[in-house]
Amino acid sequence: MVEKFSDALAEVRRTNPKFFLADASEFPEAPPPVCADCRDLGFVPADAEGRMKPCVCADRKRQQVFQAALDEIFPIYSTRGFSFETYRPETDSQRAALRLCQDFVEDYPPEKGILLAGGTGLGKTCLLYLALRGALVHTVFNFERFKTTMLFSRIRSTFNSDKPGRETEYDIIRRLVAVDVLVLDDLGVEKAGEWADGILYTILDGRLEKRRPTLASTNLTGETLDQKLGHRLASRKHDLFNVVEMAGADRRVPKSVHNPASP
């Protein structure tokens, strides 16, 4: 029988060498930390009393995650190199829309959201994407994007589901009221009705109370838009949004089509 611990350890080392390293030099060398401030821990001292605060590198990592999520929900714009510099306004209203989206970046969080209205192909959704992307460079926030028709389809899909833990109408509304920034495309395209008007009003009014900005686009303008929004929401439109009605030619159509050469 082995009576000493050192002898027992030596015996185990001899019979099971794979569980032991010969000496400390055999441990793999740890890679150098990426961040010299927190040594990749994510926190740095906040004061002399030992309290900690997030390191700036943690903010950068979160920004990278949020930027990736943004690119995922705006796939067309994220892959084409769009920027405020590449957007070329052709009318005063387009210049106003560009300035408004730039202000969103500079003044985030803003007092109001943005509603860009006007015909197709004016760059409304592109400008809203650029506003979100620019603001994410300076701060971190969560966001969601819906086409309004898809939003109502999503809510309707919850009505006949009896699965345990299923998403409910209330869950969707509560999440969209709480999200830091909500993007709604094609506002007013959904079929008008008391139910749809009520859902949209509940979401946007809740966001107004929480002072959370909403970015929206629509192809409708003036009285046509107000009629589609319904009286209650139309009356609060300017409380919710800075509104720009954009004019101009469809950017998706070649200029030669807008101005064909005379024969």
Domains in the chain, ordered, with CATH? 58-255 (3.40.50.300)
Residue type at 123 in one-letter notation: G
- Dump pLDDT digits (tens) for 99-142: 999 999 999 999 999 999 999 999 999 999 999 988 887 777 88
**Ramachandran bin of 211, using left for φ above 0, alpha for ψ from -120 to 50, beta for the remaining angles:** left
Burial class (CB in 10 A: 0-12, 13-18, 19+), 255: exposed
Residues in CB range of 179: below 8 A, 6 or more apart = 142, 143, 144, 212
User: Contact, 213 vs 110, CB < 8 A?
Assistant: yes
Residue 261 predicted with pLDDT over 50: no
- Dump pLDDT digits (tens) for 137-181: 777 788 999 999 999 999 998 887 677 778 899 999 999 999 999
Q: First and final CA of the chain: distance in angstroms? A: 110
How much is the pTM? 0.74
- At 258, the pLDDT band (50, 70, 90 cuts) reads very low
The pLDDT score that the predictor gives to residue 46 is 83
